[in-house]
């Protein structure tokens, strides 16, 4: 995407039927480079305060690393990998100091001024990529039911209502290193839509009507966010 473009973005968060909010979402504009942004969703787990502490650590780590990121010099997948690894470590340290068991999922995508996009996820928070009303790709959950879907033992519809649909095979803050899946979009196009969400959204709603982040061509304008 060589011409200037405009990113239209929004966020939404709701605690649903819970008494407290453990999820976090952020859209972070680069402090020095126009047209560069990072989107992050973290779904915290671990009780009233444990889950929120975990998701807070994901957001703090993302903000600190992205502030130092240089689109001209740094490798985007390396930044995203570092984000997952450092947040994972800090959450584990939080568990030791607080005597709680905080954990978190993560779904994050980074858009560079050139229009390329990189994403990473761990757990069952998802990223969807649409072009118009057609889904191009989505992340695959690191969950027990997803392994059954992969084996052909469940359909996606059956997995969504399975009694063990909330069991994760990996996330941030556990004893084991978190799983990480990466994806690269060489160039976003006008009409592309990206959406990060937790299972509190995708478990109850269905695409393709989601569009928190859409990309529109603005050839006469310089890149901005």
Eight-class DSSP state of 153? S
Asked if residue 151 has pLDDT above 60, the reply is yes
Asked if residue 173 has pLDDT above 70, the reply is yes
Residues above pLDDT 90, as percent of the chain: 59
Asked if residue 218 has pLDDT above 60, the reply is no
Predicted local confidence at residue 167, as pLDDT: 92
CA dihedral of residues 49, 14, 65, 54 (deg, nearest 10):
20
Asked if residue 222 has pLDDT above 60, the reply is no
Asked if residue 103 has pLDDT above 80, the reply is yes
**Quick one: CATH architecture of 5-217?**
4-Layer Sandwich (3.60)
Asked if residue 160 has pLDDT above 70, the reply is yes
Asked if residue 224 has pLDDT above 90, the reply is no
Predicted local confidence at residue 157, as pLDDT: 84
Check if the beta carbon of residue 176 is closer than 8 Å to that of residue 170: yes
The candidate with the shortest Cα–Cα distance to 99, out of 172, 27, 50, is 50
Six-digit token string for 170: 């990996």
List the domain boundaries for the chain.
5-217
Residue range 209-214: mean pLDDT, rounded? 46
- The pTM (predicted TM-score) of the whole model is 0.86
Say which range, 18-22, 56-60, 79-83, 149-153, has the weakest mean pLDDT. Answer: 18-22
């Amino acid at each position: 995407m060589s011409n200037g473009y405009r990113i239209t973005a929004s966020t939404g968060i709701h605690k649903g039927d819970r008494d407290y909010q453990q999820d976090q979402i952020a859209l972070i504009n680069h402090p020095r480079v126009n047209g560069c942004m990072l989107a992050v969703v973290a779904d915290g787990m671990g009780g009233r305060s444990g889950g929120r502490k975990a998701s807070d650590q994901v957001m703090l780590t993302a903000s600190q690393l992205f502030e130092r990121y240089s689109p001209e010099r740094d490798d985007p997948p390396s930044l995203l990998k570092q984000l997952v690894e450092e947040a994972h470590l800090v959450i584990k340290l939080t568990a030791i100091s607080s005597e709680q068991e905080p954990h978190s999922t993560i779904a994050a995508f980074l858009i560079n001024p050139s229009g390329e996009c990189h994403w990473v996820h761990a757990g069952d928070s998802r990223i969807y990529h649409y072009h118009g009303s057609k889904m191009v790709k989505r992340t695959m959950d690191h969950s027990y039911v997803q392994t059954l879907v992969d084996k052909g033992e469940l359909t996606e519809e059956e997995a969504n209502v399975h009694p063990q649909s909330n069991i994760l095979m990996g996330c941030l803050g556990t004893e084991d290193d978190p799983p990480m899946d990466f994806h690269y979009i060489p160039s976003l196009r006008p009409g592309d839509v990206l959406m990060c969400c937790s299972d509190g959204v995708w478990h109850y709603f269905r695409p393709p009507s989601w569009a928190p982040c859409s990309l529109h061509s603005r050839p006469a304008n310089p890149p901005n966010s």
